[in-house]
Structure 1
Amino acid sequence: MTQPLLSILLLGALAGAPAQQGPAPAYRVATTWPVGGEGGWDYISVDHAGGRVYASHATRVEVLDLASGRKVGTIPNTAGVHGIVVAQGRGYVSCGKTNTVVEFDPKTLAVTATVPTGTKPDALLYDEFSKRVFVFNNGATTATVLDAATGQPVGTAELGGAPEAGVSDGKGTVFVNLEDKSEIVAFDAKTLKEKHRWPLGPGEEPTGLALDRAHRRLFSVCANEKMVVLDADNGKVLATLPIGSGVDGVVFDEGRQVAVSSNGSGTVTVVHEDGPEKFSVAQTLATARGARTLVLDPATHRLYLPTADLGPAPAPTPAVPHPRLSTVPNTFRVLVLE
């Protein structure tokens, strides 16, 4: 065999070989943005194009400048706020205590409409394929579906369980965790018909959900301190990894091939995708107690986690038999990881 032909064959073999993953990045808490005020929190959202971070905060949304962390405004009267999403020139906020979604203008922050939903709307998802906003009603078994460009309801997806966070594959399928069933359900983003329903195996009471679109891998984080990795095409459980307690969020950074869970116990767990069916815990980083949700800015690879200092829990009531710890006034803040 001649040397040129050998070189051609070797190059062809390398081109067909699977890409080798680099080492997982090491995260650090780069800075903290003080916000202040009183009350609890849930999700946080980044609008990179608009240069803003939206942080849920009890009865309002705190709006922060993405570059500096400086507070630039507030969206008030969003009682029981959970999720925030900006899409198609409009912003949407789920209000768990009023069973509504508040629509706002991202430029002026003015409220422009209020839309009824199912019971206890929680996580929000914008699906760019269908150009719809999915409102996951945790107190029901449904998702209220809105046209992102108009804010008008266009349907209701029946999910068969209490939904938590959802993700889209960008090709017409939406996946969502069912907290009470310990399942993931997949449905068509346009017809709203169920496609698949998969058990999470060793995972119990799932909350956050992330997706590696390129390799079709789902990452579901669960209350029993497990991250379950599934094949997004057939639901096969590929791996189960240990994480911290009190988890409520997870993101996947496609550029760095890591899934990061935010654990309310005061850590983040970084799981590296070593290969198609191989995953490993690459880092456990101390953050702050209560930092249980997070968001990724894919453009900068930074992570944002809201939290506050915590005090004793209030006395249980029939309506709230297991109250969360109280929050210390004026300690609400956002941790920035990079």
Structure 2
Amino acid sequence: MEHGRDIVVDERHDTVWAGSFTAGALVAFDSRTFKEKRRVTVDGSGPAGLAVNERTGTVYAADLNDDEIIEVSPRSTTPRLIPAGDGPIDVALSADGRTAYAADQSGGTLAVVDLRRGAVTRSVPTGAGPLSVATDPRTGRVLVVNRTDANVSIVDPRRGSVVETVSTGADPNHVEVADGTAYVVDKSGSGPAGEDLLTRIG
């Protein structure tokens, strides 16, 4: 693969998806045999962050080049292209899989995307340089890492607003949510001994 950017695991379907940013491709591997079993290429695209709906086996990629989300369904031979915001670099899904959330790096916003309609329903300003996004399935809130501003915006997507902003170390790079706690990687070497930091948000 050329310029592998992200990877997601679909345990239910024994599949690992990886994105090739340079080749504009999404590649599925069998997690038991490690063999490639599907490759979908969208000419001119730049797949960055990935998310997968394990109930349906559908994978989503933030297309940084074309301001869209690429949807690849096991039931379709061709990908569906869904509008997103300005410079989507990462994507996450709601707990029910009906909504996608795109971190729009260029626009400084979170795009709330209705996947059934294939349309952006809200655009929420979060800060400079959104880079990573994750959802909290317990609360439905969405966490957006703003790399340039060195903070995390906690968004209520129903209200379409930021409900809290939490400072992190310099250059936060990625966020994951597990059991109601968010973990943010600060890729800056700004720790006491020049190490990167991990910020925990309860």
TM-score for both structures, normalised by structure 1: 0.53
Residue 98 (1) aligns with residue 23 (2): yes
**Paired residue type of 1:267:** L
Equivalent position of 1:135 in the other structure? 61
Equivalent position of 1:63 in the other structure? none
Instruction: Give the 3 Å change call, closer, same or farther, for CA 244–138 of structure 1 in structure 2.
Output: same
Give the superposed CA RMSD: 1.8
Judge conservation of contact 2:51–2:60 (CA < 8 Å) in 1. Answer: yes
Equivalent position of 1:214 in the other structure? 138
Which of the numbers 191, 195, 199 marks the counterpart of 2:117? 191
Judge conservation of contact 1:246–1:263 (CA < 8 Å) in 2. Answer: yes
- After TM superposition, give the deviation of residue 262 of structure 1 in Å: 0.5
- After TM superposition, give the deviation of residue 175 of structure 1 in Å: 0.9
Does the residue aligned with 1:153 lie in a helix, a strand or coil?
coil
User: Unaligned stretches of 5+ in structure 2?
Assistant: 189-195
**Paired residue type of 1:270:** R
Equivalent position of 1:12 in the other structure? none
Equivalent position of 2:3 in the other structure? 80
Equivalent position of 2:191 in the other structure? none
Which of the numbers 96, 107, 116 marks the counterpart of 2:41? 116
Residue 153 (1) aligns with residue 91 (2): no
Residue 164 (1) aligns with residue 94 (2): no
**Paired residue type of 1:106:** S
Does the residue aligned with 2:65 lie in a helix, a strand or coil?
coil
- After TM superposition, give the deviation of residue 247 of structure 1 in Å: 1.8
Residue 269 (1) aligns with residue 199 (2): yes
Instruction: Give the 3 Å change call, closer, same or farther, for CA 140–151 of structure 1 in structure 2.
Output: same
- After TM superposition, give the deviation of residue 243 of structure 1 in Å: 0.5
Equivalent position of 2:129 in the other structure? 205
Q: Whole-Å Cα distance in 1 between the matches of residues 31 and 123 of structure 2? A: 36
Q: Identity percentage over the alignment?
A: 17
Judge conservation of contact 2:50–2:92 (CA < 8 Å) in 1. Answer: no
What does residue range 172-191 of structure 1 map to in structure 2 within 5 Å? 172-191=98-117
Judge conservation of contact 2:27–2:38 (CA < 8 Å) in 1. Answer: yes
Does the residue aligned with 2:80 lie in a helix, a strand or coil?
strand
Judge conservation of contact 1:144–1:153 (CA < 8 Å) in 2. Answer: no
- More strand per residue: 2
Judge conservation of contact 1:129–1:170 (CA < 8 Å) in 2. Answer: no
User: Unaligned stretches of 5+ in structure 1?
Assistant: 1-77, 273-338
What does residue range 9-48 of structure 1 map to in structure 2 within 5 Å? none
- After TM superposition, give the deviation of residue 156 of structure 1 in Å: 0.5
Does the residue aligned with 2:95 lie in a helix, a strand or coil?
coil
Judge conservation of contact 1:130–1:189 (CA < 8 Å) in 2. Answer: no
Equivalent position of 2:169 in the other structure? 244
- More relative contact order, 1 or 2 (CA 8 Å, 6+ apart): 1
- After TM superposition, give the deviation of residue 150 of structure 1 in Å: 5.5
**Paired residue type of 2:146:** C
**Paired residue type of 2:60:** F
**Paired residue type of 1:86:** V
Equivalent position of 2:70 in the other structure? 144
Measured against aligned partners, the alpha-carbon deviations of 1:65-117 in whole angstroms (never above 9, x if no partner) come to xxxxxxxxxxxxx1100111232233221001111112222111112332112
Q: Whole-Å Cα distance in 1 between the matches of residues 187 and 131 of structure 2? A: 12
- After TM superposition, give the deviation of residue 151 of structure 1 in Å: 7.3
Larger Rg: 1
Equivalent position of 1:320 in the other structure? none
Judge conservation of contact 1:130–1:190 (CA < 8 Å) in 2. Answer: no
Instruction: Give the 3 Å change call, closer, same or farther, for CA 244–106 of structure 1 in structure 2.
Output: same
Residue 258 (1) aligns with residue 184 (2): no
Residue 229 (1) aligns with residue 159 (2): no
